[in-house]
A and B are shown apart, each in its own frame.
Chain A
Amino acid sequence: MNDINAISVKNVEKIYGGGKQAVTALKDIHLEIRDREFFTLLGPSGCGKTTLLRLIAGFEQPNQGEILLFGDHLEGLEPYQRPVNTVFQSYSLFPHMTIAENISFGLKMQGKMQKEISSTVAEMLELVKMAEYGERMPNQLSGGQQQRIALARALAPRPKVLLLDEPLSALDLKLRQAMRHELKRLQRDTGITFVFVTHDQEEAMSMSDRIAVMSQGSIQQLDAPETIYERPCNEFVANFIGDVNLIDASVSEFQPGKLVCQWAGSQVVAANTATTADLSSENRVRLAVRPEKLRLVTKDQGQTNAQVTESMYMGTDRYITVTCDHGENLEVRVQNSDVSGEVIQEGDTVGVFIPELSAVALTDQQSGLS
């Protein structure tokens, strides 16, 4: 393992246009991407994730701040001078060249020897399992095949970092799922750092070592997928990744990493990821609870009672909506593993139980975003 980060983004700001029409695409971005990491920039469209990728590739220049690649400054370097390659959303294969010519393009431009080029091309075709397709033209391939060739072409010059700009978004669902495994395998086999841009949270969760969730030009949270899901830091992240119930509670006691709250007249112990100082001034707090963390128990056994207003059978799960006695609506997901035949029906009265530390206290800073 290398001690130096593959990519360091320091204090980067990007503004498009000027004067009154100026749009801030990125503000004050700090980011460190480790060597050999599968790193994902996740966010809705317009959050700045693609802009950040284009800054690393060199298609755009930051207005402020700096980007380092393995400790080297990238400032002022043209895209063709940076040892990073990009897999584009629309593949951008050269339509007038064969598959082999497409893959060899970068190597030729680097001035590699013909012998080395042909062996690398063969190796790359093998790597993406397209060995027999070298002489075809791009338009003779299906979308999924073109995607593999785009990957092979970007990997052929052995970049220090591979940038992937929503590479799977044009594929259908089945293919997209298969390509996730493929991408993960390619990253493992080549040992190249991947920086992956997507708006698809499932894609991000399944492949990444770490995820940076972005919104409105800044990073909301940067963590491992599990942490992002289990311990979202704010409402935006909690909402963007998976489904969530947001409930308002009042704080009654601070404990290290814990927050004892009052909700619906009962006690809920929530996890506190923020520093206590952030919350100490407030006595109201917003808690996030994932639907699968909530338990439906017998009446009067939970923190509050509720009426089942909807029960949807989804196969592996049952999606249940309950209305609490104090009026709040909650989504609950119950796994379909019970074989007793007891089924929660619409109209039933049940108890709602929030287990200790299954709710997370959110910082209020960003809660205006959604």
Chain B
Amino acid sequence: MGLGPAILTIFAFMVIPIFILGVFSFMPADPYGGVDKGFSYEAWVQLFFERDLDDSLIFDPVYLQIIFRSIVLAVLATITTLAVGFPVAWYIVQQPAKKRELLLFLVTIPFWTNLLIRAYAWILILGKNGMIEKPLYGLGIIDESLELMYGNLAIGLGLVYSYIPLMILPIYASLEKLDFGLIEAAHDLYAKRYSVIRKIVIPLCLPGIIAGCILVFVLSLGDFISPSILGGGKKMMLSNLIQFQFSSARNWPFGGALTMLLLIMVGIGSFFYIRVLGKREEIK
């Protein structure tokens, strides 16, 4: 019964709104915002096709491209945060207890500032005449802007920067539980450092690695701030597109359909996570 209020809150403020959006996606759009009565799968058709003047459907990949870009950027962000985050977590866990606490604290420091402000800070770094370009101009290495901002690179960097603590922390948590006696045992049985990481450390902290990957992937996929500020709105991601439908485009059903699609993709990711974890539990 103790969970009652929590379940009620989640139900009232999450499940019901999502359900409403799902219903909206099957209704006709009201041009002034909101939805009209009736049933229509127009919004779902719109994901893949455009209506020609004569009402015939023409395949239109523009939205699919945005979805595809979102997935690619989220995957790249996940891979990059893993590549950087795992060694960091591995390093932290090997430090003496006091230093570990300090390092973990440093990892979480970016959370102290608003994400929006941190995104703007990246403009100062990457932007025209920013911290990267200025010295390069001065040294005469470049004579025109590198155009680092407002593209996939800037969005990707923003994603990696925003979510890397969410990769480091779960991996650290699982590494901390690792029995270091096993590492000694593996060394004793002729395994060199690299083999120990590959055969012992990674398999045993897989739950942490997967948790970190899911967190970073899901949040990157639905990220709004990086594409809108660092991408300058030129390169949209899924969440910008959704926001656009509910505001300027006033196409709520299409926004609802996109939301459902994002939810389904996240759901598939989580499903695999639970399956992999479930299999490991069986072993135990």
Binding site for B on A (CB under 8 A): 57, 59, 78-80, 85-86, 88, 90, 92, 94-96, 105-106, 109-110, 137, 139, 153-154, 157
Task: Choose among A90, A94, A110, A139 the residue that contacts B186 (Cβ–Cβ < 8 A).
Answer: A94
Inter-chain CA distance A269–B64, complex, in Å, is 102
State A51–B195 Cα separation when bound (angstroms): 26
Give bound CA distance, A153 to B182, whole Å: 13
Question: Please, which residues of chain B bring their CB within 8 A of the CB of A157?
Answer: 189-190
Q: Is the CB of A92 within 8 A of B195?
A: no
Q: How far, in whole Å, are A57 and B181 apart by their CA atoms in the complex?
A: 13
Residues of B within 8 Å of A153, CB to CB, are 189
Show the binding face of B for A, using Cβ within 8 Å. Answer: 179, 181-182, 184-192, 195, 199-200, 203-204, 283-284
Partner of B190, one of A92, A94, A109: A109
> Contact between B188 and A80 (Cβ–Cβ < 8 Å)?
yes
B187 touches A88 (CB 8 A): no
User: What 10 A-B pairs are tightest by C-beta distance, nearest first?
Assistant: A106-B189, A109-B190, A92-B185, A79-B187, A92-B181, A80-B190, A109-B191, A96-B203, A86-B188, A79-B188
CA distance A344 to B198 in the complex (A): 69
Q: State A139–B190 Cα separation when bound (angstroms).
A: 24
Closest Cβ–Cβ distance, residue B190 to chain A (whole Å):
4
Max chain A C-beta neighbours (<10 A), residue from B186, B188, B195: B188
CB pair A94 B200 closer than 8 Å: yes
The prevalent SS among residues of B at the interface is helix
Q: Is there contact, CB below 8 Å, between A109 and B195?
A: yes
- B191 to chain A: which residues have CB within 8 Å? 80, 105, 109
Residues of A within 8 A of B203 (CB): 96
Inter-subunit contact A86/B284 (CB<8 Å): no
> How distant is the Cα of A106 from the Cα of B199 in the complex, in angstroms?
12
B181-A105 in contact (CB<8A): no
CB-nearest residue of chain A relative to B191? A109
Chain B residues with CB below 8 A from A78, complex form: 187, 192
Interface pair B283/A96, CB less than 8 Å apart: yes
B185 and A80 form a contact (CB under 8 A)? no
Given A90-B181, A96-B203, check contact A57 B188 (CB 8 Å): yes
User: Given contacts A92-B179, A96-B204, A139-B284, are A59 and B184 in contact (CB under 8 A)?
Assistant: yes
- In the assembled complex, the Cα of A137 lies from the Cα of B188 at a distance in Å of 21
Q: Is A85 within 8 A of B189, CB to CB?
A: yes
Interface pair B185/A110, CB less than 8 Å apart:
no
B283 touches A137 (CB 8 A): yes
A67 to chain B, nearest CB (A): 16
Pairwise interchain contact B284-A105, C-beta atoms closer than 8 A:
no
Which residue on chain B has the smallest CB distance to residue A82?
Answer: B188
The docked-state distance in angstroms from the alpha carbon of A110 to that of B191 is: 8
- Give the shortest distance, in Å, between B149 (CB) and chain A (any CB): 45
Can you report 7 A-B residue pairs in the complex whose CB atoms are below 8 A from each other? A88-B181, A94-B185, A96-B203, A105-B199, A109-B186, A139-B284, A153-B189
Q: Which residues of B contact A86 (CB under 8 A)?
A: 184-185, 188
Give the distance to chain B from A79, nearest Cβ to Cβ, in Å.
4
Name which residue of chain B comes closest to A96, CB basis.
B203
List B contacts of A88 (CB < 8 A).
Answer: 181, 184-185
- Please report the C-alpha to C-alpha distance between residue A110 and residue B195 in the assembled complex, in whole angstroms: 12
Tell me, in angstroms, the Cα distance from A9 to B188 when the chains sit together: 20
Give chain A nearest CB distance to B276 CB in angstroms.
13
A238 to chain B, nearest CB (A): 35
CA distance A248 to B188 in the complex (A): 49
What chain A residues lie within 8 Å of B283 (beta carbons)?
96, 137
Q: How far is the CB of B99 from chain A (nearest CB, A)?
A: 16
Q: How far is the CB of A124 from chain B (nearest CB, A)?
A: 13
- Report chain B residues within 8 Å CB of A105: 186, 189, 191, 199
**Chain A residues whose CB sits within 8 angstroms of the CB of B190 once the complex forms:** 80, 106, 109-110, 157
Query: In the complex, A80 Cα to B188 Cα: how many Å?
Result: 5
A85: chain B residues within 8 A (beta carbon): 188-189
Is B184 within 8 A of A80, CB to CB?
A: no
Bound-state CA distance A157–B185 (Å) is 13
Known: A92-B181, A95-B284, A139-B284. A80 touches B187 (CB 8 A): yes
Cβ of A79 and Cβ of B184 under 8 Å apart? yes
A9 to chain B, nearest CB (A): 19
* Closest B residue to A89 using CB positions: B181
Least distance between A187 CB and chain B CB atoms (Å): 19
Given contacts A80-B192, A109-B195, A139-B284, contact A92 B187 (CB under 8 A): no
Give me 8 other A-B pairs in contact (C-beta within 8 A), A96-B283, A109-B195 excluded: A78-B187, A79-B184, A79-B187, A86-B184, A86-B188, A94-B182, A94-B186, A96-B203
Minimal beta-carbon separation of B45 from chain A (angstroms): 48
Are B195 and A95 touching (Cβ within 8 A)?
A: no
A44 to chain B, nearest CB (A): 22
Report the Cα distance A57→B191, complex, angstroms: 14
Complexed CA–CA distance, A59 and B191 (Å): 13
A225 to chain B, nearest CB (A): 28
